[in-house]
Amino acid sequence: MKKALIASLIFISVTVALNASGNKPTLKDSVINRFFSAVDSIRDYTVLNDVKTYAGKKVQKRELKIFYKDKGHVRIDVISGDEKGGVAIYDPKTDKVRGHRGGFLKGVKLTLSKYSKLATDIRGIRTDQATFQFFKEQLNKLKDKPMTLDTLGNGKISIRVALPESLSVGKADGWKLYIGKNGLPYRIEYFHRDSLVQESVFKDLKINMGMEDSIFKM
């Protein structure tokens, strides 16, 4: 009887210890939850994006201005670099992109599938895949997968995770997301077989300014 009681007490104490440790949030959980909360607080934003994209021997360098408004409206203006002057506007209601290219084709406005080569970059990365909200959707689907987290100082941290084929972006199979002390991304990188295929740096972020619907019309 005494042995049974001792065994029972040991079992209870081990179970409590396991539950206590299991309930303790991990660094991964804390970072992801902070990121999700920061993104959920955004109604609209603009941000500048310096982006380099690699596809074989091709290199596409551009500075973009990204506009986002709740419910998935996205506008991207090419400020400098390849296709300077181009504009792409994604409408979540139609799931299509309307826009024009830069240069002498600026006057030709088209409505296209979001998968069209005219509406994506040289790797096929879409307009609607350029937002913090898309990054949140991706990370939510990947949150139970193995990840590598590195603390970078000053409240910054990076998360690297493999991308399964079903979640691949621009044929990338790896993704690295850099989270700032505000909980939002300041840099992302995509990889294919450990080779860097896109790097993006975000700057001059402005949040919840009260964006007009007219910005997303053409």
pLDDT at 96 over 60: yes
Higher pLDDT, 9 or 92: 92
For the segment 6-52, what is each residue's pLDDT rounded down to a tens digit? 444 333 333 333 333 455 679 899 999 999 999 999 999 999 999 99
Percent of the chain at pLDDT exceeding 90: 84
Higher pLDDT, 164 or 19: 164
Residues in the chain: 218
CA 1 – CA 164 distance, rounded (Å): 54
pLDDT at 63 over 90: yes
pLDDT at 138 over 70: yes
pLDDT at 101 over 70: yes
**Mean pLDDT, rounded, for 138-165:** 96
State pTM to two decimals.
0.86
pLDDT score, position 149:
96
CA 62 – CA 64 distance, rounded (Å): 6
Amino acid in position 70: D
Q: Is the dihedral of CA 85, 91, 97, 98 positive or negative?
A: negative
Answer yes or no: are the C-beta atoms of 129 and 119 closer than 8 Å: no
pLDDT score, position 107:
83
**Mean pLDDT, rounded, for 79-92:** 96
Q: Which domains does the chain have, with CATH numbers?
A: 27-216 (2.50.20.10)
| Torsion of Cα atoms, 36 then 40 then 43 then 45, to 10° | -10
pLDDT at 105 over 50: yes
SS3 216: helix
